[in-house]
Structure 1
Amino acid sequence: MMIALRHVRLIDGLGSVQERATVVVKDDRILSAGPSRSTTVPRGAVDLDVRGMTVLPGLIDCHVHLGLGGEPDVVTVVETDSPGMTLLKAARYAEQTIGAGITTVRDVGYKGHGIFALKQAIAAGLVLGPRVLAAGQAICMTGGHARFIGREADGPIEIVRAVREQLAAGADLIKIIASGGVLTPGTSPDQAQFSLEEIRTAVQEAQRAGKQVAAHAHGAAGMKQAVAAGVRSIEHATLMDEEAAEALVQHEVFIVPTLSALATTAGCPLGAGVPESVVTKARDMSARHEASFKKAHKRGVRIAMGTDAGTPFNYHGENAQELDRMVALGMSPMEAILSATASAAALLGLDDRIGTIQPGKLADLIIVEGNPLKRIALLRDRNRLAGVMLQGRLVSGPLAGEV
């Protein structure tokens, strides 16, 4: 089947914009994309009325937790829900995510291995959701942060076993906890967790299987240790110092800032159900997090969009709020979009397939009423999202009913 999107504004994920462009999709791939005057539409293509709209690559969220639902006390919920209930909820959250124009996610911590069943169900068409890359259980030290969705391990031998368990279950990457966190009682975000040897062991074991490692790290000490160990990305990067920023640039390590996670938690009033210690930690770090993001942007650190969706009041389906926050802290709208398309695809190792609108790439597209380069908030307005296409199939939005 062929679909033609004629006379649209094209944001291609490469940093350029074309007015009055035409994009032709054949089966699951982009056949052509360019100025309408020079782009041939093959006979038999289905024309969609998208004149005046904007088409851009499907957005990529590099940090979600489909097993968490944004409840005030997510730790208690995930600890008390049965595996079956968690999986049913995760399927619902996946549907909300794709409906918001997020066509690929990286799930970086799930209680148990149910996330791999969800990934398979989505790929088989049994459940509607985005493409999923999953880490399985986060690997943490005994008593460490994220133990409620983690696999506790201590020392190189146990680290190897924990990594291999995730890989055997189907992990696309490994997630390691390199500092304390906000949600876990008794842990400090400033303090490093795991030794350099332990993190390096995790990286080496993952790389033996051709996989990358994402490291949760709020504090600068944890960040620097993880970068030295060879991780691919630092998740959060909340309390960055100059030395950490320099290390990230030198080693070309991505950060996934997850600005929305701290902002939504810090912004809720005491008594809303979020444990007081969690709110306190979030509020204490919010200003420093914003400063770290500005520093990273100014220094040219590689930034990929991620939301930490699933944390308190940080709901699946509202992922594009992260782009608003990035722009508010100094990114241009185009830079923010690139962080959620080409840059995110590069981090995930999928830049040969997704992240840009080019012939031969998979047809992951979103079609928006209006111009997000003038108003980035359009990307989080479900009423402006005319269509979401995943591998050439319109799966959501009003345009889905026209094909």
Structure 2
Amino acid sequence: MDAITGATALLGQFLTPVPDAVVTLSDGRIAAAGPSSSVQIPPTASVFDASGMTLVPGFIDCHVHIGFYDPRSLLVNGVTTARDLAWPPHLIWPLVESSRAPESGPLLLAAGQMLTAPGGYPMRAAWAPRATGRVVASPGDAKQAVAEQADRGASVIKVALNPDVGPTLGRSTLEAIVAAARERGLGVTGHVAGIDELVKALDAGMDELAHMLMGSDAIPTELIERMVSQEMAVVPTLSVLNGAGLRKAVANLEAFLGAGGKVVYGTDLGNSGPRPGIDRREVTEMERAGMTPRDIVAAATRDAARHLGLHDRGVIAEGMVADLVALDREQLERARDLVRVGAVWRQGISARGGPGRN
């Protein structure tokens, strides 16, 4: 058994700050968590002194393209679970399989290929290897396209609705994709640009925006309210944006949050901008949109885990998977404090840090 002592830990479903906490780990799970006065440390336990640190659940990045990086570079920088949102089948599924080993990097979930219209994004995108996208030519092809991803192990279906770089899926085809995904118990996320495509996504019943709306459009209040009422989640990926597009995305995110919208952390790692791990620019732009450091932690841990259906992780509580990050800050006062990663555990195995704090 291992024990982490001395930290201020954000415990339980409410991420309650508990000073001088003790968290014990056994067989990849959290055995106990609470104030030092209430948790006994077995005499044979290996103890990590986290005094002066804040212990949080491992971060979950809900939007990566993992093939551009060594997965371990995410893990050692605080991301213990990641979801890949478009990569060729022959490349992504072996990575998903190997991610079951906690030393390999974060636990990986994946969408498989991005479903798109003939000639649509990302078929000619410079960043995308061949077979990153899968053309869906008609409503009749939707069920087969979804089945191909689901049969390989997809945790979500991703679609492209970006008219700025090519044709987009028609309404009937998109609706057929969503229906086929529902039959397989899967949600649908999307790369969506522009108000018209957002309306199409809402009409079809999509579950998530894989970016805050791409482009420089302000989302009207009535659409913000509709997104919230339909429980559409947003993965902001603000760190890939610049200039007017970034300013508008931050304003849209602020309005969405103000209306009670669900936000989960994601960076679009693999695109220009984000760095592996907890990304400084992403969290500081989320802060600009009105989120506190604890709000951001919630979006990247508890809320992300719930959104992805990972009910055994995302909070520090007895019985949960021991995915943990110790931050080199006793109090989280600003978003930038979240990138001060001092130690990381995945399934109770140390990926960074230790008694000597490397």
TM-score by length of 1: 0.81
Cα deviation code 1:4-59 (max 9, x no counterpart): 11221011362321111111111111111111111222342211121221110000
The CA distance in 2 between the partners of 1:400 and 1:261, in whole Å, is 36
- Pick the aligned partner of 2:106 from 123, 130, 139: 130
The residue aligned with 1:80 is none
Structure-2 residue corresponding to 1:298: 258
Partner of 2:7: 8
Three-state SS of the structure 1 residue aligned to 2:104 is: coil
Q: Is the 8 A contact 1:61 1:319 kept in 2?
A: no
Q: Which moved more, 1:208-217 or 1:367-376?
A: 367-376
- The Cα of 1:155 is off from its aligned counterpart by 1.3
Number of aligned positions between the proteins: 346
Q: Distance in 1 between matches of 2:39 and 2:108?
A: 33
Give the drift of 1:379: 2.3
The residue that corresponds to 1:146 in the other structure is 122
8 Å contact from structure 1 (residues 106, 134) kept in 2: yes
Q: Which residue of 1 aligns with 2:92?
A: 115
1:70-104 CA-partner distances (Å, limit 9, x unpaired): xxxxxxxxxxxxxxxxxxxx4x1x11111110001
Q: CA deviation at 1:318?
A: 5.3
Q: CA deviation at 1:168?
A: 2.3
Verify the 8 A CA contact 2:111 2:155 in the aligned structure 1: yes
What aligned pairs does 1:48-197 form with structure 2 within 5 A after superposition? 48-67=48-67, 69=68, 90=69, 92=70, 94-124=71-101, 128-147=104-123, 148=128, 149-180=132-163, 186-187=165-166, 193-197=168-172
Listed one character per residue, the Cα deviations across residues 267-320 of structure 1 (whole Å, up to 9, x for unaligned) are xxxxxxxxxxxxxxxx44222112111111111110001111111233333535
Going from structure 1 to structure 2, the CA distance change for 1:99 and 1:321 (only over 3 Å counts) comes to farther
Gaps (5+ residues) in structure 1?
70-89, 267-282
SS in 2 for 1:10: strand
What amino acid sits opposite 1:251 in the alignment? Q
| AA in 2 matched with 1:131 | L
The alpha carbon displacement at 1:372 in A equals 5.3
Q: Deviations over 1:165-195 (max 9, x none)?
A: 11222212111113336xxxx34xxxx9323
Asked if residue 364 in structure 1 is aligned to residue 323 in structure 2, the reply is yes
User: Counterpart in 1 of 2:276?
Assistant: 316
> Could you tell me how far apart the structure 2 residues matched to 1:293 and 1:308 are?
16
2:178 corresponds to 1:219:
no
- 1:143 Cα deviation from its structure 2 partner: 1.4
Q: 1:6 to 1:130 in 2, by over 3 A?
A: same
Distance 1:325 1:207, change over 3 A: same
Are the counterparts in 2 of residues 60 and 340 from structure 1 also a CA contact under 8 Å? yes
Distance 2:280 2:181 in 1: 30
**1:215 aligned counterpart, secondary structure:** strand
The CA distance in 1 between the partners of 2:338 and 2:293, in whole Å, is: 11
Contact 1:60 1:344 (C-alpha < 8 Å) held by counterparts: yes
Residues 3, 25 of structure 2: 8 Å contact kept: yes
- Once the two structures are superposed, what CA deviation does each residue of 1:241-266 show, in whole Å capped at 9, x if it has no partner? 2222111111112111110111xxx3
* 1:401 shift after superposition: 7.0
Aligned-residue RMSD, C-alpha: 2.1
The structure whose residues are more often helix, as a share, is 1
Instruction: String of CA shifts for 1:124-175, please: whole Å, max 9, x gaps.
Output: 46x7210111011110111112224211112111222211111222212111
Specify which of 364, 374, 379 is matched with residue 333 of structure 2.
374
Conservation of the 8 A alpha-carbon contact between 1:4 and 1:22: yes
Residue among 191, 211, 227 paired with 1:236: 211
2: CA distance, partners of 1:338 / 1:124? 25
Give me the whole-angstrom Cα distance separating, in 1, the residues matched to 2:82 and 2:280: 12
- Deviations 1:199-256 (Å, cap 9, x if unpaired)? 2211221222222211221322222322332222112132422222111111112111
The question of whether the paired residues in 1 share the 8 Å contact of 2:274 and 2:282 is answered with no
The answer to whether the aligner puts 1:389 opposite 2:349 as a matched pair is no
**Correspondence 1:285 to 2:245:** yes
- 1:123 is paired with a residue whose SS is coil
Cα 1:300–1:317 shift into 2, 3 Å: same
Shift in CA distance, 301/401, structure 1 to aligned 2, threshold 3 Å: same
Uncovered stretches (5+) of structure 2, i.e. residues with no partner: none
User: What amino acid is aligned across from residue 354 of structure 2 in structure 1?
Assistant: L
* CA distance, structure 2, for counterparts of residue 26 and residue 145 of structure 1: 46
Q: Do 2:278 and 2:338's aligned partners in 1 also have CA atoms closer than 8 Å?
A: no
169, 178, 189: which one pairs with 1:203? 178
Match of 2:275, as an amino acid? Answer: Y
For residues 230 and 252 of structure 2, what CA distance do their matches in structure 1 show?
Answer: 18
Gap change, CA 1:29 and 1:349, over 3 Å in 2: same
Percent identical among aligned pairs is 31
- Tell whether the 8 Å contact from 1:177 to 1:193 is kept in structure 2 after alignment: yes
- Deviations for 1:101-131, whole angstroms, at most 9, x for unmatched residues? 0001110011343111011122146x72101
